[in-house]
Chain A
Amino acid sequence: MILTASWIIGLIRRRPANLVGAIVGVGLAVALLACLGGFIDSSLKTMTAEAISALPIDWQILLNSPADEEEVRAAIQKADPQATMEPVLYADVPALVAKTGETVQTTGTATVLGVYPYYINTFRTEVAPMVGVDHGVLAAQQTASNLHVSVGDRVTIQRAGGLPPVDVRIEGIISLPDAGSIFQKIGAPPGASPQAPPDNVIVLPVQKWRDLFLEQMAVQPDSARSEVHVRTARLDLPPTPEAAYAWELGRAHHLELSMTGRGVVGDNLAARLASVRVDALYARVLFLFLGLPGLLVAALLTLGIASSGAARRRQQQALLRTRGASVRMILTLASAEAAFAGIGGGLFGALLTLAVRVAFKTALGVSFAGTGRWVLIASCVGLVLAFAAILRPAWDEAHRLTVAAARKVSPANSNPLWQRRWLDFGLLAVAGLLLWWMSRTGYELVLAPEGTVSTSVHYEAFVGPFCLWVGAMLVTLRFFRMILKQGLPLATKLRLPPFAGRLSRIIAAGLARQRQPLTRAMALVALAFSFAVSTAIFNATYQAQSRVDAQLTNGADVAVSGISSEAVAADLLSKLESLPHVGAARPMLHGYAYVGNDLQDIYGIDPKTLGEATQLADAYFADGGAHAALTRLEDQPDGVLASAETVSDFQLRRGDELNLRLRSAPNSEYHFVPFRFIGIVREFPTAPKDSFLVVNSAYLLSRALSTAEWIILIRTDSDPSLVATEVSRITGRIAGLRVSDIGSAQRQINSSLSAIDLSGLTLLELSFAIVFVAGATGLALFLSLGERRRSFAILSALGAKKRQLAAFMWSEAVTILVGGGLVGVCLGWVVAFALVKVLAGAFDPPPEFLTVPWAYLWLLCGAAAVLTAAGITLHLRKLVREPVVSDLRSGV
């Protein structure tokens, strides 16, 4: 015990740098694992919370009969005593009619809702009052526009079942932002396409609805129905989306059972969680893809730092054995050192985690949940790592080497088994085959079938990138060995810098003989660089795609929607174009058209100018990219670009005539308009992901499309949110207009991979990556030079001047830094490319090229160079300023 304590005290006093290096390495690994773990937990929890926070109605329960309402309410109360619920009555009617002046407007089929006054308070986001009162007879904005009515006007409701029409007086205009949910078809089988909400909606107080439609209900029961809308307390909802989905599905099934057939549950909460569930799986995959290499680098860095003192440790052990110490004693001392480094690293890692946690909370407002648990897990991993780094080599040496062999200073340079068996090229071949197969077959990484609890992630997809990573690293090692063995003498012959001085032959010969530790150091640098570069490139590409996705959703940097007439659009356009920082503002028409019986979004654009206001990427269009598609549309006035789904559903071929049913003024009735199919559009600004059409706006207007809205897309060179505020000032006086910017769209997207906010994770990883690169270059070099201090002391004693000592150190440093750095950057690039390929299905739309964050890469290289220079300067200063006698006297 006393000997062990003396040993540790001796290490602290004599070799603090090595011990601190090992502690720092273990600490970094612990901190990274703890931060990543906490971040994953926190992200998944946030994903669940954010996904359902804006969901107003958890359950929509379709009653078999209005008479069952009490029993159903009781069942809901039993399932969730704190649930709030409101009944909603629906009646489908053949038409609404309004007379304004001399003209009479008649709509198609409409739906009349009956709600209690409390409904608007309970489900605030479902009904948004725009003009007039918020309870009474309310017309949806689109309906009011179709009928040309406003508050105070009368509307005639044509009732079904041959009943006489009834008149109501409009008391308010509302919008129904979540109409898709309110009018969803409850009990539709999984995978069924969503039902389009009705074009015309009137909302009545329940009593009035009953007065007008109970009779219709009796005469034609299928024309009316009752629902109960429920918001549950969500008290026991598990934090992760997968668990929450399973829990919610079970709860809804249980409610259906307890209602004994009186109602069918439309489970909006489960539907929302189902979509987030896929995102959560992707998030896990991403965390693994990005986090695991980081942990591996941290572990290898720790092993590398610990191994920088291996030669000295080996000699010390040999000395102990010479003096009679048993193997057990040697291993006890090594265990004590490992435990010290492990516990110290754990404490350092915990402090670092705390610091990162505080920094993230302060700077980004991101909090990590359950960090304590992760610190504990990570500390155990750190302890194992410390034992692997210190005890394992001691064990090997104590059991394998003779004392004489252990006392040798220069390591053996024989080729390892993997190199002799060509394992590196084998792994690369496997990686190439797997990646080729995955890109060819459109591999689905994540599977989460709708309506089932089970989900699956194809973790075997990791095998390709993993083989690529390991294989490339081994090839790198082989390459480094070859370069050090044959390249260095060649560099000396060719007088390449830094091997151009008169000492270069000697230096190169020395480095070539130390190729094993040098190869390890270069590999470590390459590994750290590859991790940093792959993470940075993947992150930049991801952020760029996230922005593209947000721009697709929002339409442009800033978008103004809900413009009801061409005149208003033209007036606004002139005002918006004169705003500062507005690069371009272009209008676009949006309406609906029937393709067969399928109602689809239709967009009218000016193909010549729309690209000035928003990005129209080549990936959005099949057959030749954006320019070709838009030129075709420009050349063909009646041309139509259709979504891939539409083309597939209707077996369209280029040149086919496509008759769309469009609603036209003045009678707002649908009629056929002929178009010519000219190509496939995969994505389009503001368009849905499934079915839509893009046509020339001039042609669309010439066929008098009514009930369409105008959207103005704005490109800005400034902060979109600030421009959006300016735009809102102009549009504020016009009712029904909505202004949105790309930032808010980015925050609201919740149906794709881009929903996962990687910025926190990647900031964490990129920060650690810089530390790893610093550790692999500056710290490793500092420790390595420190280990060979006696060699430099001998050089100094022989009379080597400062510049000659520097030549020795710089030659080694440049070999490690340039060799390792260059290979690392290339490797990182390849790994980022492979990651993007593997996750290609997750990007929406897929990236056309990798985005390279040059500033970060320069920062990385700069940090490595500066830290290397610092490591050398420190050593040189110590060698020159302090007497080298003590190093000369020491035998090891």
Chain B
Amino acid sequence: MDKILLSLDDVSRYFADGRLERPALRHISCNVAVGACIAISGPSGSGKSTLLHIMAGLDKPTSGLVTWPALGQEIDLRPDEICLIPQTPSLLPALTVLENVELCWLLSKGNEAEARVSALRALERLGLLLIVNRLPEELSGGQLQRVAAARAIVCEPRLILADEPTGQLDSVTGSRLIEALVDTAANSNAALVVATHDSAVANRMIVQWHIARGKLEQSPT
């Protein structure tokens, strides 16, 4: 059996909506193994982002258990083990593209010289070398998302979680981004989980899961 990076056991997540509790995830159980390439598709509001946040340890389930058997404690997971590419723009506005990517390295590993080299390498992989000194406000939505992806892969984490990474990109650029993510995951034997409603993106993944109304359906690999 493949080594399990992440395991969800009967996980549910409810959000308070006035006096009511609205379910976002309902009794989800799943495993993500080393080297897995998983697409989670589903309509808007189906719970994709919530599931990724719980997988990243950014959110806690209302019930159920989340563990990272091969990774360690929740507190030490990011950015070395898990990295999340959020759906919304997530670069720090006062830092340049290069600094934003370097930051992720510096938060975990610390060496400044290596940080610059690694950041430039990650940016080069996503074709962003020409904009390294620009500020986020000078970038397009697509560029922002690609820089976020570069930032995610700079530390070569063992689990990459991408939330609608191609949502604001044209098909060619989106395809390049997914290619880069898949390559990075493959090269570092990391797992890649992509939440998307783009079937083309989903089809690039080895495994497709579908989520609707908080219920996860896993298709056979």
Contact = CB atoms under 8 A, between A and B. Distances in A.
Given A884-B58, A885-B59, A799 B89 contact: no
Contacts, number: 88
Interface in A789-836: 791, 794-795, 797-801, 804
A173 B49 CA distance: 102
A409 B88 contact: no
Interface string B44-57: 00000110010010
B108 interface: yes
Contacts of A890: 88
Given A409-B137, A502-B112, A889 B77 contact: no
Given A502-B110, A506-B99, A798-B107, A889 B78 contact: no
Contacts of A804: 107
A799 B93 contact: no
A794 B92 contact: yes
Nearest to B155: A799
Interface of B: 49-50, 53, 56, 58-60, 77-80, 83-84, 86-96, 99, 102-104, 106-108, 110-112, 135-137, 151
A888 B86 contact: yes
A703 interface: no
B93 A798 contact: no
Interface size class of A (residues with CB under 8 A): 20 to 34
A511 B92 CA distance: 12
B82 to A, nearest CB: 8
A506 B86 contact: no
Interface string A503-540: 10110011101100000000000000000000000000
B11 to A, nearest CB: 15
B108 A795 contact: no
Interface in A844-892: 883-885, 888-891
A688 to B, nearest CB: 68
B112 A410 contact: no
Given A503-B106, A797-B78, A883 B90 contact: no
B106 A799 contact: no
28 contacts: A409-B136, A410-B135, A410-B137, A502-B106, A502-B111, A503-B103, A505-B112, A506-B106, A509-B96, A513-B135, A514-B94, A791-B92, A791-B93, A794-B86, A797-B56, A797-B58, A798-B83, A798-B104, A799-B104, A799-B107, A804-B107, A883-B53, A883-B58, A883-B59, A883-B60, A888-B58, A889-B49, A891-B89
Contacts of B49: 889
A408 interface: yes
Contacts of A409: 93, 136-137
The 5 closest A-B pairs by CB, nearest first: A799-B78, A799-B79, A510-B94, A409-B93, A408-B137
A514 B93 CA distance: 9
B104 to A, nearest CB: 6
Contacts of A798: 78-79, 83, 103-104, 107, 151
Nearest to B77: A799
A511 B112 CA distance: 19
Contacts of B88: 888-891
Nearest to A407: B137
B79 A510 contact: no
Given A506-B103, A799-B78, A885-B58, A513 B94 contact: yes
B99 A794 contact: no
Given A410-B135, A510-B92, 5 more contacts: A506-B99, A506-B102, A511-B94, A794-B92, A889-B87
A481 B188 CA distance: 45
A795 B92 contact: yes
B157 to A, nearest CB: 9
A797 B90 contact: yes
A510 B100 CA distance: 10
B108 A799 contact: yes
A502 B49 CA distance: 32
Contact of A885 (B53, B83, B107, B110): B53
Nearest to B152: A798
Nearest to B102: A506
A160 B108 CA distance: 110
Nearest to A883: B59
A509 B106 contact: no
Contacts of A408: 137
Interface in A403-431: 408-410
Contacts of B96: 509
Contacts of A795: 92, 103, 107
Contacts of A505: 112
A800 B59 contact: no
A294 to B, nearest CB: 34
A799 B80 contact: yes
A513 B94 CA distance: 6
Interface string A341-360: 00000000000000000000
- Output the residue of A884, A885, A890 with the most chain B CB within 10 A: A885
Nearest to B95: A510
Nearest to B15: A886
A513 B79 CA distance: 25
